Structures are given as C-alpha cells and as structure tokens.
Chains A and B, each alone.
Chain A
C-alpha cells in the first residue's frame, strides 16, 4: 500500500474518532462546535506522556483519552444542563478558550540534549514514540482501523442497552425523559465525558503519527467537519459519521481534480443533504428498515 493511501486511511481513522464524539453528543440532542478542543487536549496529553515521560505508545494514547475525558467531565459540570443554541455557543467558546490557552502553554523539559514539550504558538514537536518504538506506519494504520472498529461496536452495543435508550430518549425529549425517571443531567454529563475521551483518543493517535501538534490543530473547522460528518453519514448508527468521514476525506480528497474545490463540494453536499435528509443518509428510519430487511433475510 502506498504511503499516500496509508496516510489517507490514518487520517480517516483519526477524524472518525472526532466525528464519533460529535455523534454521541448529537444522540443526546447536543450540537457541539467544540470537539476539536478535546482532540488537542488528548494530543498534548498523549504527547507529554510519551515524549516527556517515556510512557509506552499505547499508554500515552490512553492518557490522552483520559485527559480529554476529564476535560469533558469538567465542562459538563457547567454545560450539562444547557441545550440547543446555548450548548452550541458554549461548546464553541470552550473550543476557542482551549486554542487560545494553548498559545500560552509552555511546558518544556530536557529530554536528552534537547528541550521538549509544548512551546506556546510554536507547538509541541518531537513526539516520536511511534517511530522510536519501531512500529511501521502500515501497522499503525491497521491498529487505528482496528481500534475504530472496536470503538464502533462498543458504541452500537451501548446505544442498544438501557443506558443507550436513555441517551436516545434525552436526545428526543428531555421533559418526557425526566418524567420517566431518567436523570437527564447525569446522562448528558457522562456522554460529554465519553465524547471528550473519544475525541482525545483521536488526538493521541494523530499526534503520534505526525509527531507534532500545535494550537492551530484546535481550529473550529475540525469541530464543524466532525458535526458535518455525522449529518452526512446519518444519525441512525455510529457507522454514519464514519461514512461521512470516508466520503469527505476518502472520496473528495482522493480525487485530485477536486482538490481546489473540495470545500465547495463538501459544503454543497452538506447543504443538499440537510434539505433532503435532515438526519443524514443512514438516519433512524433507514437503519430501522435495513435491520428489518436483515431480520427478514435471516428467516
């Protein structure tokens, strides 16, 4: 497989984690423009764990996910009761808060002959655990894909569990959910923490592939794209956001003649789909019909 294909697949995998994090929040009816913040928190934390403290790659990536999950939990203390436009605005503000804070974040320690660590606007370079550990990029791509597959299965199982029913109920009608005994704030808070951890997992995977991260990686467009991926692919299944990422990065980016027009095509695609299929290609109705078809086929 060519380096370009490997790079494309790693990018699809990494962004799929951010898209899944936005998707989880959409399940509970929250539109977030701030998942990029958890992505960079995860990236910085994972990088610090491996590059500064010598943690193994897998441990470092888990540290990133946990750090972003904790950030999600902290944010939920303020934002869990908020919904609609207030949550969207608050998440956008949080994303910008993190980006600006990272511009001033200096934490460099001597590693060998060099100073390594976050250096404000200059970012954080030299995160080489993937390459010093001897793992090939192809193996890494397979590991990212495998982790994504496992994560998707876990989310599918979660959403079909009692807890998942409560999440979907909250996403449809908080008043009716509360009147049935669902602790709406708790569901929202735990989902925000989980969504943060997922985006942080993506950040940890990303930072070890590209060996650096900077405040610019917390650009709001990553949050907007992760939302759009879920809306393109559909909100009826966790496969929806992954399909959305694959359509955007896999299809549009790989057609070189579209390179200059990618954002125009992408924007048009999102607009058109939101008009025709407001909840994406694989919305709840489509997924329900497909699952009935599969059940019928098994008989």
Chain B
C-alpha cells in the first residue's frame, strides 16, 4: 500500500499541493489527471523525495518515506519515469537499463522490444523508443510502486497505442501503479480508479467511469459556465 496522507507542498508561499491524501493498494492502478498546474508532477516528486512536503506523510507498506532523499526512496522500492524521458544519452541502451545495478538488461529490453538496440547509444532512440526504454529501466529494479509521469506525453497516436499496450502487459500483478496522464483514453484503459487534482487539491477520487459525470471535474476542465 502506498499512502499519501495530508501532504501539502508550497513553493515560495504558493500552494502546489493542499492536504492531498491518496491510498493505492498493491496491484491497483491509479490514474491521476488534472489541468496543467494542478500539482500532478509535484505529487510524484514529493513521493519520490525530489520535493519535501511542508506537511503530511508518505508511506510504502508501512515504511515512512517522508523526508528521505530520492536515492533512499528508490532503494525502498519506488521507481518512476519523468514527464520528458530522462535517459543517459551518452550511455548505451543496455547500460541505461542496468543503471549501475546488478541486473541483466536482456529480459527487460526484450519486454519493451528494444533488445536489438541494446548496444546503441540512447541518444539515437526515437521519442517512442525512449519512453519504452525509460519504462524498462523503471521495471528492471522490480519496484513495489511504479510512478509514471505522462508516459504517452508528446507521442503520436500510434506510439500512444504502443505504449498503452506495453503498459498493460508489462506491469506485473501486485505492483502499485500511479499513472499521471492527460490522455483520458489511456487512463480509462489502464486504470480502474482515477484521482483528479485541481489547483493542488484533490477534487475527485473514484471509478474511471464516473469521472465525466462529476460536476467539479467538469468545472475544473471546462469552467463553471460551460460545465453547467
């Protein structure tokens, strides 16, 4: 269980997250959506230790992660991807998956369809391949919690379809998964449950199917006049 309990984050007096609470069980996939600036990436950053919360607590299977540095959070079993794929461009595809860890890159590269490119420099990959490599790198550490920040961001329709299909088959049962994504079709396909953030507050947390009927969500996306 990954639990975020009353977490608040402020940047120079501006509230990025206001007392946000979420709990994601083992094997569950939670989608997090919201307009730009809603606090989605900040939520992932605070869980992974890149940002310190002003208040609240973060726990993974009862272990407190609050205040731990990012490397300790990673070693505790939390893996993530970034909004723009952050690969080590001067290292090979295989080295990117190993990332200094004692593991065999081959099965993970086979899983994401990049085995033939294991010896290429990561800089040579297309955006879609870069996303797949970043996913392989995150999965290779066998995390207990996987946080994906816009895994289909900036990809074409065909690449988005590829990544969504890959995520469906690659994420092992039992992994806690949080997917931040603007493409609602991807969220509906991958996640049973969705949380909506708006201006740093959680305004919805429920089944993906109920999302479009929620008045506060419609107002956040469309404005009060159009929502009514």
Contact string against B for A residues 259-299, beta-carbon threshold 8 Å, 1 for contact and 0 otherwise:
00000000000000000000000001100100010000000
Given A163-B100, A165-B100, A184-B71 contact (CB < 8 Å): yes
Whether A169 pairs with B88 at a CB distance below 8 angstroms is yes
B101 at interface, CB cutoff 8 A = yes
A-B contact pairs, 11 of them (CB 8 A): A162-B102, A165-B99, A172-B90, A175-B70, A179-B71, A180-B79, A180-B101, A181-B74, A181-B75, A288-B92, A288-B121
CB pair B69 A178 closer than 8 Å: yes
Interface of A toward B, CB cutoff 8 Å:
162-163, 165-166, 168-169, 172-173, 175-184, 284-285, 288, 292
A181 and B101 contact, CB distance less than 8 A: yes
Q: Within residues 164 to 218 of chain B, which ones have a CB less than 8 A from any CB in chain A? A: none
Contact A179/B98 with A172-B88, A172-B89, A284-B121 known, Cβ cut-off 8 Å: no
Collect the chain A residues with CB atoms within 8 Å of residue B82's CB. 176
Which chain A positions have C-beta within 8 A of B3? none
Q: What residues on B are CB-neighbors of A183 within 8 Å?
A: 71
Chain A contacts for B71, CB-based, 8 A? 177-184
B70 touches A284 (CB 8 A): no
Q: In the complex, what's the smallest C-beta–C-beta distance from A144 to chain B, in angstroms?
A: 31
Known contacts A176-B82, A180-B101, A181-B101: A165-B91 contact under CB 8 Å = yes
Once bound together, how far apart are the Cα atoms of A166 and B100, in whole Å? Answer: 5
User: Which residues in A have their C-beta under 8 angstroms from that of B49?
Assistant: 178
A165 touching B70, Cβ below 8 Å:
no
B86 within 8 A of A: yes
Give the A-binding residues of B (Cβ under 8 A): 48-50, 69-71, 74-75, 79-80, 82, 86-92, 95, 98-102, 119, 121, 123, 137, 141
Instruction: Give the total number of A-B pairs whose CB atoms are below 8 A apart.
Output: 75
Q: A173 touching B86 by the CB < 8 A rule? A: yes
Distance of B187 from chain A, by nearest CB (Å): 23
Residues on B with beta carbons closer than 8 Å to the beta carbon of A169: 88, 91, 99-100
Write the chain A residue with the least CB distance to B75: A181
In angstroms, Cα B98 to Cα A174, docked, is 16
Contact B100–A175 (Cβ < 8 Å): no
**CB pair A285 B70 closer than 8 Å:** no
CA distance A93 to B101 in the complex (A): 36
> Which residues of chain B have C-beta atoms less than 8 A from A172's C-beta?
88-91
The complex places the Cα of A178 from the Cα of B50 at a distance, in Å, of: 9
**Closest-CB distance, B102 to chain A (whole angstroms):** 7
A184 CB contacts on chain B under 8 angstroms? 71
Min CB gap A22→B, angstroms: 18
B73 (CB) vs chain A CBs: closest residue: A179
Residues of B within 8 Å of A176, CB to CB, are: 82, 86-88
Q: Report A296 CB to chain B, min CB distance, Å.
A: 11
The complex places the Cα of A177 from the Cα of B69 at a distance, in Å, of 12
Instruction: Determine the distance from Cα of A179 to Cα of B49 in the docked complex, in whole angstroms.
Output: 9
With a CB–CB cut-off of 8 A, which chain B residues contact A178?
Answer: 49-50, 69-71, 74
For the complex of A and B, the 9 pairs showing the least CB-CB separation, nearest first, are A166-B100, A181-B74, A178-B70, A176-B86, A284-B90, A165-B100, A178-B71, A180-B99, A172-B88
> Taking the nearest CB of chain A, how far is it from the CB of B150, in angstroms?
15
Instruction: Provide the residues of chain B in CB contact with A175, threshold 8 Å.
Output: 50, 70, 86
Cβ–Cβ contact A179 & B74, under 8 A:
yes
Interface centre among B50, B69, B89, B99 (most CB of A within 10 A): B99
A177-B71, A177-B99, A181-B74 given; 4 more Cβ-contact pairs under 8 Å: A165-B91, A172-B89, A172-B90, A180-B100
